[in-house]
Structure 1
Amino acid sequence: MTVKADSDGTWRVQIDRKGMPRSRRGGFACRADAELFERNYLAEHRESHDQAMDDRTLVELINAWHVYHGINLADGERRHRALLQMAADLQNPIASQLTAEQFVLYRYNLMYNDRSVCAKTMNNRHGYLAAVFNRLRKLKVIKYQSPVCEVDFLKIQERQLSYFSRDQIDILLETIQQNSKNLDTWWVTQICLRTGARWSEAEKLKRKQLHNGRITFEFTKSKKTRTVPLEPAFFHALDQYAGYKHPDDRLFRNCIGAFRRAAKRSELAFPRGQATHILRHSFASHFVMNGGNVLSLQKILGHADISMTMRYAHLAPDHLKDAVLLNPMSSSSTNHPARGLSQVA
C-alpha cells in the first residue's frame, strides 16, 4: 500500500513503480488528499510506465503494423520490407526503448559512413518508421509516443523536376521503335507521355479500361480510379492494336526491361531513379508550359495533395509575371544598359 498514516496524524505517499520516477511525499492532512495526489501522479506518468512495461521488439511492432494497416497500402509490401531491413540494421531493439539518439546515429552511419542512401531516401525511411508508431498508437496497440517521431526530418535542397524536351522525346521514341523487339514498349511509353500515367499503371492496362476515347486507370497509388481522354487518332490506333481481347485481358506484356535498354541506347540523360518517372514529369511539365491549369493537372495525375502538383507551377507562362511589372526597377532608366551608360558619360 503506497498511502500510509504517520505517527503525527498526517498521511504520506510512496510511489515506486517500474518506468516511473520514484516519489515520496508526506504531510497530507487527510487520506483523501494523499490518494488524490497518488492518482494524479500515476495518471501523469502512465505513458512512461506503459512504455517501460512493453517488451515487444521492433520487428514485432512492424509486423503488427503490416497486419493492421500496411497490407492495405498500395506499396505496403515494399514498405514492410524496408522496415524489416531497418529493424535488422538497428539490431532489432525493444521497440519501446528505441531512442532518438539511436535513430540519428543509424541515419548518420548510412549516409556518411556507408554512403548507401541519400537524404531523400533516408527521409522516406524515417517517415515509414514514424508512421508505424503513430498508427499503432492510434489503434491503441501501443500507449506511448516513440522518440523517433520527434526527430526532425533532413532538410533537402528543392530542385526543379527533370523533363524531356520534344526533341528528346522524339529521340527516345525513335530508339524504341528501331531497337526494341517488344512492340508493347512503344505503346506504354506513348501512354505515359500522353496521360501522365505511372509506368505500372500503363503497363498493366486491361482491355476494358479503353472506352469512348479514354483510358481509365485502376489500382492507382491513391486507390482511386481516374479517367484521361486521348487524342482520337491515337486512341483509334491503340484500340486497333488491342484487338478483340477479353475485357479482363492485359493489353501489354511486361516491358520495363526493354524500356531501360532503349533508354540506355538513346544516350539521353535520365535522372537517377527516374528511368520511367521522367515520362510522367515530362507530361506534367509540357502540360503547364502549354498553358494547362494546375487544378486540371492535379486530377489528371491523381495527386491527393495539390502541393505535389504545384511543383510544376513555375513552368506556367504567366507564373509570377508581376515580379517583372511590380519590382522597384521596373520603370528605371537603368533597365537599358546603353541608356544608363550614356547618362553616366
Structure 2
Amino acid sequence: MAIHQLPDGRWRVDVEPIKGKRYRKTLKTKGEAQRFESTCRSKSIETPNWSPKPKDRRRLSELVQLWFDLHGVALTDGVRRFAILKACADFMGNPVALKVDGAAIASVRARWLSSGVTGKTANNRLGYLKSVYNELHKLDVIDYSCPFSRIKPIRLQERSLAFLTKPQITELLDALRKRTSAPHIYMIALICLSTGARWGEAEALRPERVGKGLVTFANTKSKRVRSIPVTDTLVEQIHQHWAMHGPFGNSIGVFRKALLETSINPPKGQSSHILRHTFAAHFIMSGGHIVTLKEILGHASLNMTMRYAHLAPEHLQDAIHLGPLAAQTGISIQ
C-alpha cells in the first residue's frame, strides 16, 4: 500500500511510480501524504531524474555566512553588517532558518526593546535580517519566502533637524580655528558648511577633486559622484591648507570635543551632521529650490530632502490663500 497510518498517528508514504525509483516519507496528516504521493507520481513521469528535495535544515548563521560570501562582501559596510547579523543569529538562538516565523521575530524584537535597544536599532537589525532572506531567495539559495516581510517596522517619532544660526556658525568656526594642534577640523567644517557635504566626504577630498570653482565628492553614501560649485576663494584656501598641513586625516573625534567646548548643544547623533543640516536649512530659508538641494546633498530620493521643506519662506502658505474660507469675508472664527 502506498500510504498507511503508523501507530503514532502519522502517515507513511511508500511509493514506486517508476521501477527503480522508490520514495518514502512520513508526514503528519493523510492529506499531506496524498499530496506527496501524487507529486512523486506526476513528477517522475514528467522528469525521470526528478527527486524530492530534502527539507532545508540550515540554520540562520549558515544563511548569514552565505549572504556575506555571495552578496555582503561587495557592500561598503558589509563587514560591519555581517558582525551585526551574526550577533542577531546568536541572540535568536541560531534557529533553523526555515522555521523562523512572525511570532519568533516579534518576540526577539520585544526582548531587544526591553533590554534598552532603541526602536531605530531594532528596525535596522530586522531590516538586515530581511535582506539576508531576500537576497538568498533572489540567488536561488533558498526557495521559501522571507518571514521578516510580515513584520512592520516600529513607527518612530521623527526627530527635528537642528541647524546652526549665523552667530553659532561664527562661534563654532572661531573655536575650531583655535585648535592649532588639529588644523584640519576648521577647513573640513568650512567645506561642509559651504557644500552640504557629510564629514567623511569632505575628509576624503584630494587635490585633484578641488579646482575650477568645483569641489567633487567621489566617496559618497549613494555611490554617485557629485560636483558642487564653490567660490574661488574657498578653492584657494583649501589648496593653501594642504600645502601647509598636508592631506586631511581622521579628525572627527577632535571636532566633537571642540564642539562640546562651545555653547552649541546639538541633538544626539548630529554632531558633525549638524553642518550638513545647517547648509540645507540656510539654503532653503534663503529661497533655494528643494530639487536643487536634493542634487547638492546627493539624496537618492526627494523624500529625504523634503525634511527641509518646512523652512522655506513660502512653505504651506497656500493653506491661507487656497483654503475653503479664503474667499469668505465677514466670518468670525472664535
> Normalising by the residue count of structure 2, what TM-score does the alignment of the two structures yield?
0.82
The answer on whether the counterparts of 2:85 and 2:125 sit within 8 Å (CA) in structure 1 is yes
Letter aligned with residue 206 of structure 1: R
CA RMSD of the aligned region, Å? 2.9
CA separation in 1, counterparts of 2:288 and 2:227? 17
Give the distance between the partners of 1:220 and 1:136, measured in 2 at CA. Answer: 27
Alignment map for 1:4-19 (pairs within 5 Å): 17=25
Identity across matched positions, percent: 37
Partner of 1:121: 121
Distance 1:25-1:146 versus aligned 2 partners, 3 A rule: closer
Relative distance call for 1:79 and 1:303 in structure 2 (3 A) is same
Equivalent residues of 2:163, 2:274 under 8 A apart: yes
1:210/1:329 Cα in 2 relative to 1: closer, same or farther (>3 Å)? same
Q: Secondary structure at the match of 2:178?
A: helix
Q: Which ranges in structure 1 are unaligned for 5 or more consecutive residues?
A: 5-12, 27-33, 41-48, 341-345
How big is each residue's C-alpha offset from its partner over 1:254-284, in whole Å with a ceiling of 9 and x where there is no partner?
Answer: 1111101001111311111122112111111
Choose the corresponding residue for 1:273, options 253, 269, 274. Answer: 269
1:293 aligned to which of 289, 292, 309: 289
1:165–1:211 Cα change, 3 Å: same
Query: How much does 1:251 deviate?
Result: 2.2
Counting matched residue pairs gives 307
Structure 2 residue aligned with 1:164: 164
> Equivalent residue for 2:55?
53
1:243 to partner: Cα distance: 2.6
Q: How does 1:189-208 map to 2 (within 5 A)?
A: 189-208=189-208
Whether contact under 8 Å (1:185, 1:258) holds in the other structure is yes
Residue 76 of structure 2 is matched in structure 1 by 74
How far, CA to CA, are the matches of 2:145 and 2:180 in structure 1? Answer: 53
Q: Which residue of 1 aligns with 2:176?
A: 176
Change (3 A) 1:110 1:25: closer
Return the match for 2:255 from 251, 259, 264: 259
Whole-angstrom distance in 1 between the partners of 2:143 and 2:28: 15
Evaluate the alpha carbon distance shift between residue 14 and residue 185 of structure 1 in structure 2; reply closer, same or farther with a 3 A threshold.
same
Distance 1:324 1:37, change over 3 A: farther
Task: Measure how far apart 1:110 and its partner are.
Answer: 1.6
Residue 3 of structure 1 contacts residue 35 of structure 1 at CA under 8 Å; is this kept in 2? no
The match for 2:301 is: 305
Aligned to 1:213: 213
- The list of structure 1 runs, each at least 4 consecutive aligned residues, that deviate by more than 3 angstroms after superposition, is 1-4, 13-22, 34-40, 328-335
Distance in 2 of aligned mates of 1:82 and 1:19: 37
CA distance in 2: counterparts of 1:18 and 1:278, whole angstroms:
62
**d(CA) in 2 for partners of 1:66, 1:325:** 55
Distance, in Å, in 2 between the alignment partners of 1:84 and 1:211 is: 45
Match in the other structure for 2:10: none
1:37 shift after superposition: 10
Task: Identify the residue that residue 30 of structure 1 maps to in structure 2.
Answer: none
Query: Which letter does structure 1 place at the counterpart of 2:109?
Result: R
Task: Give the conservation status (yes or no) of the 8 Å contact 1:185–1:255.
Answer: yes
- Report the 3-state secondary structure (helix = DSSP H, G, I; strand = E; otherwise coil) of the residue aligned with 1:157: coil
Q: Is 2:133 aligned against 1:133? A: yes
Match of 2:278 in 1: 282
- Name 2:8's counterpart in structure 1: none
After TM superposition, the score normalised by the length of structure 1 is 0.80
Distance change in 2, residues 1:74/1:294 (3 Å)? farther
1:96 match: 98
Q: Deviations over 1:180-238 (max 9, x none)?
A: 52000001111111111111111121121112121111121111111111122112111
Does the CA contact (< 8 Å) of 1:96 and 1:146 recur in 2? Answer: no
Instruction: Give the deviation of 1:179 after TM superposition.
Output: 3.8
Q: Name the SS of the counterpart of 2:279 in structure 1.
A: helix
Native 8 Å contact 2:14 2:25 kept in 1: no
- The match for 1:316 is 312
Give the corresponding residue for 1:243.
243
Distance 1:189 1:100, change over 3 A: same
Residue 151 of structure 1 deviates from its aligned partner by 0.8
Match of 1:63, SS state, is helix
Report the Cα distance in structure 2 between the residues aligned to 1:124 and 1:178, rounded to whole angstroms.
Answer: 39
Q: Which amino acid aligns with 1:75?
A: D
Aligned match of 1:155: 155
